[in-house]
Each structure stands twice: as C-alpha cells, then as structure tokens.
Structure 1
Amino acid sequence: MTEEDPLPVIGTDGLVGLDFAVQVTDMGIDFAPPSGDEAFKENQYAADVTVCAGLGCPTDEAFDDALNAIEQFRGYVNDREDLSLAEALEDENLLQEFGLPVVPLADSLHCFCLEISVIGRVTMVDRPTVEGPLTIPQSPKFHIDDIRITDREAIEEFPLPQGLVSSLECYIEVFLRLSVFPSVAESVERTVQQILSMQNPVLTLAGVTATIELPTSSSVPHNPAIEEDELRMYVDIDVAAPGGS
C-alpha cells in the first residue's frame, strides 16, 4: 500500500480533498494467445486485471466543517490587502493554521470493481547502469496495445455514457503503465539477476565482475521473446577477472 494525497475537490482551490483507494485485486498475465483470438499478434501477451476503487463520501456534519474552514480562510485573505489568494495557497504555515487542506470524515468508502482485458508486448529499454558485480543495463518494459472493460453485463445493466467508460479505461491504463507494470518489470529483472547469480557462481569470486547485456539482433528477433506460453529472455555475459583475463 502506498499513501497518496487526498483526491482534490474541483472548485475548492485544493483546499478540500477526499479519501480514496485504488488497487489491483487480481491480475494474471498469459503469454499464449487467448483461445480463438485470431487478432493476437506475434510477441504479444494478454492480461486480465481486476481493479477496485473507492471514494470516501463525507457526512453532512463533515460537509459543514469543510465549508466553514474554506469561508474563514478566504475571508481572511480578502481582508489582507498585501496577500493574494495565490500566495496564500502556497503558504503551508497559513494553511495549517486554518486546518487546510481539510479531508472531510467519511463513514466508509463507496467501492466498485472493474474487470479489464489488456493486450500488449514487452520490449527492452535502457536504464541507468547500477554499479556492482552483476550489472544489467537494460530493463523489460510492458507496453499496452489495447485495453477495455470486459464485464459488459454490469455496464449493460447500468448503462453508462461511452465517454465515462472511455475515461475509466484511460485512467486504468495510466495506472497500469505508471504504477503496476513497472513493478512487474522490476520483478522480472530481479528474477533474472538471481538466476544468473545462482547459475554462475564464478560471479561471487573476489575481483570478478560481469556485465550482462540483453541483446536484440538478427539472431534474436525478439528479446524478450514470448514463445510457447513463456516469457524468454536472452543474455550475453561479459566476465572480467583480475589481470584482464
């Protein structure tokens, strides 16, 4: 779990935020084409993701407290000829004095879950080299080629505007690209490092260093390669021992 700032309420200049939660409750990645999917292209993966979210709706009393805090703050700023609203909003000490930003109390979160289908591919991208006895200057990156909400029965039972559905799909794609899939890629990278360390004990000897390259060439059309329901990664290892041998 990662703690985030409250969700800003539009029109309050960021003075009020709401508690919220967004999480992936289930995710499976399949490196074989979905059954009967003729549009599945070479070197693609499929993923089924369940994303749940919840918003803390304030009580009536909490609404009144938040409104009073906003009015007192804005009244104070209006009475100050030497202070603009923009400057006041940047003054953390002043905001704290008025108890802002305020997060109205909620009895519980109003939650919902969506089932998402993802089609994508995996490539290698360069990253800053980390110094150490085992160095991998590339990292896998999970791309998204197509994403859609799949639990259509719920949408058909409670029809939603297409723009709202598209907006939800867009937000979930951003959430997956920037939060979830980087963690998955890091796990893959860490697994490769662990396997190489275990299968090449020479790397643990004093004075021996190794650089691991994850090549893409005519001899390796795809790296990583999605083949036979597996994600395969090919490596070149350059080992340098003391004395240059």
Structure 2
Amino acid sequence: MPFTDHSDLFGAVHEDGINRLVRHIMRQRPSLFNYATPFFHNNAGLFCVKFEVDERVLKAKNPLFTEQEPLPILGAPVPIGLNFCLQLTDAQIDFHPGNVFGLPPELGALPAQRFALRLKGCMGIDCPSKEIIDELLPLIERFLVSQQQLAIGEIKERVPGISTHYTPPVAAVDNRERPRTIPLPTRQLICFCLELFAVGHFEWGSVPGSQQIWLKTRLDGLEIVDMQPNDMESAIECYLTTVLKLGILPRLIIPLEKMVLDVNKEFQEMGLTLGRTVTLQPSAVPADVPNNPAVEEDQLKAFMKLIITGGA
C-alpha cells in the first residue's frame, strides 16, 4: 500500500540517520557529553574513555569538556576535594523491530510500534594515595584543634594555626567570598561504566481542561544493566522511572495546534496569495492511518493531510 493512500504527505527518518547525527554531535560538541574538573585540561589521558573530537573543534580551541568543581570531601575543615570526570560515551535509538542493539532480558523483545534507547555513561573519581592522606592528616588535625572545631567542643590548650598549600589562597575566593574547592593531587582515577536501556511509544490523548488532543511520549520500561546489589538497582530504576514519567515526559507533550501548518500564511510571506484556505495537519488516528507517528521498519514515520476550504 502506498504511503499516501490515506494521507497527502509522508515523511520518515531512519534510525541509522539519527544515530549517525548523534555521533557527529558528540564529535563536534564534546563539551555537551563530557564533564570534568579543570585538572583534565592537562591530563586528558586520564579520562575513563577516550573520545573522538572533530579537527575543527581543536583548531577553534573550543572546550572539550564542561568544567566542574572538584567533588568535595565532606566534613573536611578546609575546602578540599577530589578530581572526577563524568562522560556520556554512547547514545543510540532503535525503532521496531529492533536490530541496532539487544535489549536486556528484563525488557524482553521490542514490541510493535515501540522505540528503544540505549545510553552508556562512565564516571571516574580520584582515590588519594595512602601517602597523601598520611601527609594531610596531621595538618587537618592541627587545623581543627587550632580553630576549636572538635566534636567534643572547646579545649583549654591553644594550638597555633598553620598554613598549607591545600588551604585556599585569596585568589581562590570569588566575589561572594565563597572559597573554591581545591583538588588533592591526582595520579589515577577509579572508573566505572553503566548502561541504561529504555523502551517507549507515542500516543494521542487528552489533557484535563483542554479541548484538543495531544501527542504524548510514554515510557514502557527502564533497565540499568548489572548494578549490584539488586535492591539498589531497583530503587534507582524506580526513581528514574518516576522522574521521567512525572517530571520530564509530561513537559514534552505537543498539542495538535502546534502541528498544523497554515499554508496560506507561508505563501503570503513569499508574496503569493491562494484563492482557498489550505492547512497541513497530521492524519487522524485511527480514522486515516492506524498509527501516526508510526514506529516500524526501523523508521519513525509521519503522515500529513491537506485541508482545503473556501474558494471556487
């Protein structure tokens, strides 16, 4: 059956095209996918995963990652922290029937009219050596005693304060007098990676109080692969599912009116006038087509129809 048997205009995008576009964006805008402390400007080899960068990014001296403050050491009396990096290393989409990647057993086979997402991320955190901790510990203890910041309260003995190269200098304080976190010396990072899979679909529906129909994105399932213990994995998956269903996806619903194109207005902007009123809008489901958009044959398909009124 031709795609335009029940519609006037048909468009589709293949999963390969979307995935190729994502890879290009990751190479041309690496700072959107990599986050790290300034330490990595001179130590790019310590990233958990080496990432490809377009030559034009290097020539333009655009940022390779988005700078982050060091991970603070909670409870420390001075603002010291650890270097870290966070990377989104891979992102793919797979339309039914599903042949770009395999889903974990918990999600099963990809059902009809469904799409799947696969995300892989890695994080690396510095782990200070025993030598660094042994060097710092006496200084930390002396600082706490001199500042009377012990858990037992004040003591009678007065211990003179100290100054170390880990104490933030004046230059490390911003305009609001908030001290910056100073990272400890880093030799290597401990890295770990996680894969997340999600399955979803599109549907048309109403919104209470609205007179029109809305296109909505729904989440069917979410799975983080091989996180231990199992209860921790389940708790995190439940939280992410709740955030997506109640926090993020409701913001992505689209009313039908936003999908209607006023063809007359477009022609008028080009200095042309039509004798009739012409609009372009999505084909109705299920009156015109069974699914719109349709997720099938490795593609996301959209069907549109022309509505012509007035004139001779």
**TM-score with structure 1 setting the length:** 0.49
**TM-score with structure 2 setting the length:** 0.40
